[in-house]
Structure formats: structure tokens, C-alpha cells
């Protein structure tokens, strides 16, 4: 899988390609690809090896990359953490929802998380995990998944404006056509389901071992559209449990939040 391309129309003089390419290299790293070579970064980003070498040197000097002492390859540096904390610290909703999320997680034996959109992905910004063995590490802060493939992404698509939804659909068709081909039809069906029930769900569609429910949430003061989701191991889910128990319980939690 390649990293998102940092492309803009050639006449967009305000777009700083050098900065974009450096950030593009950072986006190549994932939990599954935490250590990458110059060649791998070149293949993932589409940049030439000499260009990658210049950018990695600069990113190392700034602390955003470091060299793995064993393999000699690159990995993310500690400076990346300093970028994420100010964003997380300013999401006031995280502090408000920790208690109800924890209570619901323990009651259902699952993980309950708060997510927000990042381009064509949904990112976890808060999570509470039950102490039950059923609540494995299926979700964690900073994890991201394709918006079209997951219940939290589909809940977002269902609740956002029609203009935003159409724009996102068009971007998915152009930038990740394989995602649209695989999940587009079921996403449209689940958006219709949300209109009747107020939540979306998925049982093993994105990952065979995971079952999820998503409920969109926008504070009464307006602003950012968030999504809450519950995540359970597929093997622990009984027939009809997502639709009849987990979805309604998550919907109830969002309805009684302090500034819902």
C-alpha cells in the first residue's frame, strides 16, 4: 500500500511541495511497517531515492525520524509525539466522556472509543477497554481505519451533510477505488440502516475477528462531528446482539452526555 500522494495542481503556488513530501514520508509508517528502508520509503511515497535521502536526513536532524540501531532503517522519532499531544489536549470532549465510556465498556465487555475523521480515515482519539478477556486490543488511541469500511466511518458518512458525503464518496472513488469496489455498496446500505435505527454496525466485514457499532455525535454547541464506537471480538458476539443490544446501548450513552 502506498502513502497518500502529496499532489496539487501545478499552478497552485501556495502549495509547498517540499513540506508536503516530508510529511508524506512520515505517513508511510504504520504499526505494521514501523521500520522502513530508503528503498521502501521511495516505493511507498513515489519519490526518488536521492530525494528520500535528503528528506530523511532533515527529518532525523529535527527529531521526527531516527535510525533503528539494529537494521539501520528509519523509524518515527519522538518529536512526532509532540505534534499529537496539543491536538488531543484541546479535544475537551475526551475528558467529558471518559466516565460513561468506561461504564459502558464494563457493562458490555467491550472497548468503547471516540473517533474523528482525518481525510478518508477515522482516527481513535479516546478509548476505554473493559477488563473482560473479550475486550482485546482491537482499538487504541491513534489507530485509523478506512472511513468507507468501518461502522464508525459509515456513521460519520451518514450524519455529515449531503455535500460533504458526496465529496468524500467522490474522493474515495478516485483515490482508493479498490475500497469503493469492496465496501461501497454495503456502506450505502448501512447509511440507510442508520436512518432507521440511529447507529451503524459491522460484523467481520473489515476484519473477520472484529465486530463494531458506530454512533455519530455532534455537541449541541455545534462544531466537529465525532463518532462513538463499540468494538468486540467477533467470536464473542451472539446473533442479533449488535443490532438489539450493543447499538441501542451506545445510542443511549450518547443521548445522555452532559452537552448532547
For 17-30, the pLDDT digits (tens) are: 999 999 999 999 99
Q: Band the pLDDT of 252: cuts 50, 70, 90.
A: very high
Domains 15-77 and 90-254 share a fold: no
90-254 CATH choice from 3.40.640.10, 3.40.50.2300, 3.40.50.2020, 3.30.450.40: 3.30.450.40
pTM of the predicted structure, to 2 decimals:
0.89
What is the reported pLDDT for 1? 47
Query: Any idea which of 129-133, 144-148, 209-213, 236-240 has the lowest mean pLDDT?
Result: 129-133
**15-77 belongs to which CATH class?**
mainly alpha
Q: Band the pLDDT of 259: cuts 50, 70, 90.
A: low
Q: Is the pLDDT of residue 247 over 50?
A: yes
Q: Is the pLDDT of residue 82 over 70?
A: yes
For residue 147, give the nearest of 163, 169, 125 by alpha carbon: 169
Report the 10 Å Cβ neighbour count for 58. Answer: 14
Q: Quick one: cell of 172?
A: 474515495
Yes or no: say if 171 and 117 are a contact pair by the CB < 8 Å rule: no
The model's pLDDT over 141-188, given as tens digits with 9 standing for 90+, comes to 999 999 999 999 999 999 999 999 999 999 999 999 999 999 999 999
Give domain limits for the chain.
15-77, 90-254
200-203, strands of its sheet edge to edge: 144-146, 121-129, 111-118, 226-233, 210-217, 200-203
What is the reported pLDDT for 46? 94
Report the C-alpha gap between 35 and 94 in whole angstroms: 31
What is the reported pLDDT for 8? 54
Q: Which residues of 74-96 are buried (b: 16+ CB within 10 A; e: fewer)?
A: bebbeeeeeeeeeeeeeeebbeb
The model's pLDDT over 48-74, given as tens digits with 9 standing for 90+, comes to 999 999 999 999 999 999 999 999 999
Amino acid at each position: 500500500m502506498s502513502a497518500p500522494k502529496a499532489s496539487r495542481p501545478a499552478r497552485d503556488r501556495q502549495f509547498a511541495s517540499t513540506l508536503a513530501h516530508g510529511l508524506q514520508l512520515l505517513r508511510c509508517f504504520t504499526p505494521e511497517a514501523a521500520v522502513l528502508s530508503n528503498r521502501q520509503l521511495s516505493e511507498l511515497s513515489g519519490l526518488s531515492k536521492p530525494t528520500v535521502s535528503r528528506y530523511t536526513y532533515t527529518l532525523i536532524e529535527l527529531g521526527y525520524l531516527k535510525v533503528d540501531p539494529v537494521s539501520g532503517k528509519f523509524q518515527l522519532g519522538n518529536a512526532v509525539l509532540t505534534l499529537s499531544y496539543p491536538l488531543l489536549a484541546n479535544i475537551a470532549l475526551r475528558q467529558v466522556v471518559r466516565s460513561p465510556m468506561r461504564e459502558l465498556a464494563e457493562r458490555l465487555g467491550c472497548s468503547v472509543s471516540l473517533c474523528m475523521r482525518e481525510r478518508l480515515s477515522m482516527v481513535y482519539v479516546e478509548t476505554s477497554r473493559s477488563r473482560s478477556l473479550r475486550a482485546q486490543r482491537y482499538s487504541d488511541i491513534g489507530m485509523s481505519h478506512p472511513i468507507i469500511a468501518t461502522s464508525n466511518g459509515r456513521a460519520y458518512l451518514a450524519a455529515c451533510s449531503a455535500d460533504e458525503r458526496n465529496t468524500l464518496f467522490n474522493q474515495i472513488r478516485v483515490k482508493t477505488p479498490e475500497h469503493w469496489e469492496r465496501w461501497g455498496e454495503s456502506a450505502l446500505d448501512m447509511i440507510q440502516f442508520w436512518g432507521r435505527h440511529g447507529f451503524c454496525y459491522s460484523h467481520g466485514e473489515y476484519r473477520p475477528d472484529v465486530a463494531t457499532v458506530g454512533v455519530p455525535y455532534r455537541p449541541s454547541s455545534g462544531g466537529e462531528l465525532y463518532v462513538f464506537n463499540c468494538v468486540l471480538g467477533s467470536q464473542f458476539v451472539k446473533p442479533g446482539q449488535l443490532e438489539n443490544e450493543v447499538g441501542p446501548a451506545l445510542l443511549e450513552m450518547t443521548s445522555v452526555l452532559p452537552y448532547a
